[in-house]
Amino acid sequence: MEKQNSRYRWVVFAAVLFAYFLIVSQRTAPGLITDQLMVDFKVTASTIGLLTSVQFLAYASLQVPIGLLSDRYGPNLFLIVGALLNGIGTVMYSLAPNEYFLLVARLLVGIGDATIWVNLVLILSQWFKVKEFISLLGFAGMSGSLGFLMATFPFSAWIDLTGWRVAFLTIGILLCLCGFILYYVLVKKPNQLFKQEKKKKTTLEKSESTIVLLRRLVTDRQAWATFLCHFGLVGTYVGFIGSWAVPYGIHMYDMTRSEASQLIMIGLVGAIIGAPVSTWLSNRLGTIKFPYATVHLMIFLSWVTVFLFAGKPPFYLLIILFLLIGFGNGASALTFATVRQYFPMKVVGVVSGFANTGGFLSAVLLPSIFGKILDHFPGSSGYHYGFIIPVIFSLLGLIGGVLIKEKQEGVATAIHVD
């Protein structure tokens, strides 16, 4: 395929990753102004929780439908629309006069966000050969982690300097501009450069009916393996570090809120390292399964270690464990390398959506179950017993890693799948 040998593919790569970086930064940025929103809009904590829930519920519920639509109609349109919806939602958020506008704004952001990762995977699949694709997924994962990093101290400092409305308005405008840039980079320019391929795209064979495809998906061992892999790595990281890491540091180690927030930073550093290192290692070894199963074992043992220390390992060990758990989240990019290697291109989108749903489902379940355990067991014993949950979830991830099937030819020969 000419696209996969052109220099232009690197322009596509840069544009898509920049959009992903900005979009990811807005997933958690509203958490920085929770207290301020409660004062400005005179709303309760439950209303703030509803704003977050609406955003992530939209994200979770649309993963498989977006995958189906992207496989059928192509990923470019959905990535462009997703960036625009994110931008419009973020602008609305910055200008909201009341909590109802905030709710609609976060719903738009959630819908837009739901389109991004699945279509990023599909676009990179189209523009890059499999061996390149695996390495570049690592950099894509790293750009997402950098987006999360931007939504911590840098964005907080920006809000302190200009106020939260100006900061969110600026990012919203940038995201809208990204939508137009993506249209030029993904649609207009390629139509000029690759006219001979435009017709090829319209000759794709008719897809099977949605019901038949979904039935095959939910009975496919490899699809469930990727679902479990993402469930075990992403959910335990996002679910705990994103929700309970700061209270954990405060209550178990007598840290200040600022000191406890550094635990999140440590996890992010691990994630930034984990994405490119794990994909590079997979390419180097010529296999996805072995390094990925090893990562899952490492994460399972990390959570077991925290549990065996009654939720309070020595602080130096805690730092190491948070780095490792973050590394595992970064390595979750190998889930989509597995999808790209094993499944035909016409279903990569829906299988990627299915796998991504696993990670999000885990991230939703873990904080709520962990919170119920904390309510039931007061004090440090609550955290001790609470860590049974990430132990179980990461064990499911390890099972997924073991269940992965690889083509006997290895990664290099998987180039011929297309």
Q: Looking at per-residue confidence, does 238 or 176 come out higher?
A: 176
381-388 mean pLDDT: 92
Q: For the residues of 159-193, what is the DSSP string, one character each? A: HHHH-HHHHHHHHHHHHHHHHHHHHIIIIIHHHHH
In the structure, what pLDDT confidence band is assigned to residue 203 with cuts at 50, 70 and 90? very low
Q: What are phi and psi of 155, to 5 degrees?
A: -70, -35
pLDDT of residue 242: 66
Start-end of CATH 1.20.1250.20 domains in the chain: 1-194, 206-406
Q: Provide the mean pLDDT of the chain.
A: 86
pLDDT of residue 61: 86
Distance CA 298, CA 42 (A): 45
Calculate the alpha carbon distances from 238 to 155, 232, 261, 368 in Å. Answer: 19, 11, 14, 13
Distance CA 221, CA 333 (A): 19
Q: Please give the single-letter amino acid code of residue 206.
A: K
283: its two tokens: 């390419």
Is the pLDDT confidence value at 412 over 50?
A: no
Is the pLDDT confidence value at 199 over 60?
A: no
167-178 mean pLDDT: 96
CATH architecture of 1-194: Up-down Bundle (1.20)
Query: Which tens digit of pLDDT belongs to each residue from 349-377?
Result: 889 999 998 988 888 788 878 888 888 88
pLDDT of residue 415: 30
340-352 mean pLDDT: 86
Distance CA 48, CA 51 (A): 5
Distance CA 234, CA 292 (A): 13
The CATH superfamily assigned to 206-406 is: MFS general substrate transporter like domains (1.20.1250.20)
154-163 mean pLDDT: 88
314-335 mean pLDDT: 94
Nearby residues of 372 by Cβ (< 8 Å), 6 or more positions away:
none
Which residue in 30, 12, 19, 413 sits closest to 193, CA to CA? 12
Phi-psi region of 96 (alpha: psi -120 to 50; beta: other; left: phi over 0): beta
Query: Which tens digit of pLDDT belongs to each residue from 288-322?
Result: 999 999 999 999 999 999 999 999 999 999 999 99
Q: Of 122-131, 144-153, 188-197, 300-309, which gets the smallest average pLDDT?
A: 188-197
Q: Please give the single-letter amino acid code of residue 164.
A: W
